[in-house]
């Protein structure tokens, strides 16, 4: 919380100017003391944070309701320097069974010069005071939490705060630097942000960063030559959530030896470029939807040009429907665009492709109804079937030339006199392209065979 502003109303801004033969009054000595004391308290209160400076360790005794506080020092929030000169025993726990042990600053007038004069004390004596309460007072320094039992009392030392440095700033924010206490005595904890204008040297390993968030914006211009060796362990940067890397390209070759157990959870948003192979031991779950931002999108225009794309998507065909049975009608789409001669090819090698079966025994086996759309051949009403330029002959030649033996296709035509006909073309065993047309004549079926070479 922000520090309260200092009240300079009674701050002494003058000091005695001593010279030989000077007649000194009581006020001269008091103002000399207050001049120095004001500055000491102001420095302690403004540039230091309240806490232990050294010592003041706490120990419990077995089978005793008593603790020992070792000698030491502390600074409180008022800027008082508290000195405990000797080891001290404390047992005034009253009826509390758990509470906070603390040390506070106290001063008393001592050494009375004349009993008849009330204000004839010659000394102010500083008296450090050990206390115990449910909550430590604001102007005291916490030493430990004590759990009181009849047999063995115990301590919680994690509450011990050590003094540190307060860094003055424009709005009085609690910008402090102090040690990690008893648990991490060699760790400096900065409460606030850090900007380094020079060079940071040393090793940042698994024990140096063990909590907190790494904001990528704090590492600007992290180019390819910034990390050239070593391993970045993601478990050293816990809580790396979806909004922590929002732009830029993370090149995996900049993080050598990123092994299988380095990223175990979390979400990455934005673009991720991997200059090598990626092995995933779990499921890959792309987003659902029917747009370029969903599913799996392959790089566009692999051969140049424009508009070429390929994708795999999974989506509801009626996402806005209020009927659940309609809304849950889905499609798994494998698509390409944008030229008529762009292809989708299933290449199982020596295996087979099955639809409705997981044990196909042919290159393509369909277990279920097959529905396909035949091409419509424009004949121009031509009867010159024997001509090599007849549209039906040209259609099958264009599609079957160079294909393996056994390749087969089927089509229909728009000749007015050949209604009810469909045409089959295939590459015969001798390599010739043959075409047969079939027609339905009422209840009977007759087949007239014609060949095309």
- What lies within 8 Å, CB to CB, of 380 at 6+ separation is 391
Say if residues 103 and 128 touch (Cβ distance below 8 Å): yes
- The SS3 call for residue 348 is coil
- Section 8-31 average pLDDT: 88
pLDDT at 205 exceeding the cut of 70: no
> Domain ranges in the chain?
51-161, 195-278, 296-348, 375-451
CA dihedral 204, 208, 213, 216 (to 10 degrees): -10
Percent share of the chain, pLDDT over 90: 39
**For residue 193, what pLDDT band results from cuts at 50, 70 and 90?**
confident
pLDDT at 159 exceeding the cut of 50: yes
* Most confident range, picked from 204-208, 244-248, 344-348: 344-348
Least confident of 65-74, 106-115, 165-174, 266-275: 266-275
Q: Tell me how many helices (H) and strands (E) the chain has.
A: 3, 26
pLDDT given at position 162: 93
SS3 content of the chain, % helix, strand, coil (to 5): 10, 30, 60
State yes or no: cis peptide before 269, omega within 30 of 0. no
pLDDT at 336 exceeding the cut of 90: yes
d(CA 177, CA 191): 6
pLDDT given at position 357: 93
Least confident of 46-55, 256-265, 358-367, 412-421: 256-265
Which residue did the predictor score with more confidence, 377 or 187?
377
d(CA 359, CA 352): 8
**For residue 230, what pLDDT band results from cuts at 50, 70 and 90?**
low
Q: What are phi and psi of 397, to 5 degrees?
A: -60, -50
pLDDT given at position 197: 85
Average pLDDT of the chain?
82
pLDDT given at position 248: 52
Which residue did the predictor score with more confidence, 368 or 224?
368
Least confident of 116-125, 288-297, 405-414: 116-125
**For residue 216, what pLDDT band results from cuts at 50, 70 and 90?**
low
pLDDT given at position 132: 93
pLDDT given at position 215: 54
Which residue did the predictor score with more confidence, 20 or 240?
20
pLDDT given at position 112: 76
- Closest to 205 (Cα-Cα) out of 235, 179, 185: 235
d(CA 279, CA 259): 10
Strands 129-133 and 98-104, bridge-based pairing: antiparallel
Write the pLDDT tens digit of every residue in 54-98: 999 999 987 788 889 999 999 998 889 999 999 999 988 888 889
**For residue 221, what pLDDT band results from cuts at 50, 70 and 90?**
low
Burial class (CB in 10 A: 0-12, 13-18, 19+), 252: middle
- Section 23-32 average pLDDT: 88
Say if residues 41 and 160 touch (Cβ distance below 8 Å): no
Write the pLDDT tens digit of every residue in 233-260: 444 444 444 455 555 555 544 444 545 5
Q: Which long-range contacts (CB under 8 A, 24 or more apart) does 104-109 make?
A: 104/76, 104/128, 104/129, 104/131, 104/137, 104/139, 104/140, 104/141, 105/76, 105/78, 105/80, 105/129, 105/139
Write the pLDDT tens digit of every residue in 284-335: 999 999 999 999 999 999 988 888 999 999 999 999 999 999 999 999 999 9
Strands 141-147 and 98-104, bridge-based pairing: antiparallel
pLDDT at 229 exceeding the cut of 80: no
> Taking CA 424 as the corner, what is the angle to CA 419 and CA 428, rounded to the nearest 5 degrees?
155
> Taking CA 437 as the corner, what is the angle to CA 432 and CA 440, rounded to the nearest 5 degrees?
160
pTM for the whole thing? 0.47
pLDDT given at position 445: 39
d(CA 155, CA 194): 34
d(CA 376, CA 410): 10
């Amino acid at each position: 919380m922000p520090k309260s502003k200092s009240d300079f109303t009674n701050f002494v801004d003058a000091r005695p100017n001593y010279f030989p033969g000077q007649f000194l009054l009581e006020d001269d000595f008091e103002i000399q003391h207050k001049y120095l004391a004001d500055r000491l308290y102001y420095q302690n209160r403004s540039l230091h944070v309240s806490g232990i400076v050294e010592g003041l360790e706490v120990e419990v005794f077995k089978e005793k309701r008593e603790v020992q506080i070792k000698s030491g020092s502390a600074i409180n929030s008022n800027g008082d320097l508290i000195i405990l000169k000797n080891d001290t025993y404390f047992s005034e726990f009253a009826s509390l069974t758990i509470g906070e042990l603390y040390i506070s600053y106290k001063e008393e007038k001592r050494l009375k010069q004349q009993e008849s004069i009330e204000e004839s004390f010659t000394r102010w004596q500083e008296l450090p005071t050990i206390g115990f309460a449910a909550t430590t007072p604001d102007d005291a320094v916490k030493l430990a939490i004590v759990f009181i039992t009849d047999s063995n009392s115990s301590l919680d030392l994690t509450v011990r705060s050590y003094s540190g440095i307060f860094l003055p700033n424009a709005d009085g924010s609690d910008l402090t630097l102090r040690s990690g206490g008893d648990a991490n005595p060699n760790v400096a904890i900065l409460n606030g942000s850090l900007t380094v204008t020079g060079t940071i040297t040393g090793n940042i390993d698994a024990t140096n960063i063990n909590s907190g968030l790494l904001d990528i914006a704090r590492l600007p211009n992290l180019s390819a030559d910034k990390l050239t060796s070593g391993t970045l362990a993601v478990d050293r940067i816990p809580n790396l959530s979806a909004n922590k890397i929002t732009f830029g390209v993370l090149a995996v070759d900049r993080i050598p030896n990123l092994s299988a157990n380095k990223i175990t959870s979390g979400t990455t948003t934005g673009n991720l470029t991997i200059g090598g192979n990626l092995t995933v031991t779990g499921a890959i779950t792309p987003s659902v939807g029917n747009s370029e931002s969903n599913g799996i999108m392959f790089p566009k225009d692999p051969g140049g040009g424009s508009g070429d794309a390929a994708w795999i998507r999974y989506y509801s065909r009626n996402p806005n429907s209020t009927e659940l049975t309609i809304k849950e009608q889905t499609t798994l789409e494998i698509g390409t665009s944008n030229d008529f001669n762009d292809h989708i090819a299933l290449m199982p090698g020596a295996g087979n492709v099955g639809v409705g079966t997981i044990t196909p025994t042919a290159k393509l086996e369909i277990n279920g109804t097959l529905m396909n759309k035949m091409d419509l051949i424009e004949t121009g009403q031509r009867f010159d079937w024997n001509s090599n330029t007849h549209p039906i002959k040209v259609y099958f030649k264009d599609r079957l030339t160079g294909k393996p033996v056994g390749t087969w296709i089927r089509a229909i035509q728009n000749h007015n006199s050949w209604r009810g006909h469909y045409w089959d073309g295939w590459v015969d065993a001798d390599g010739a392209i043959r075409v047969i047309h079939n027609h339905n004549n009422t209840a009977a079926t007759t087949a007239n065979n014609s060949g095309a070479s």
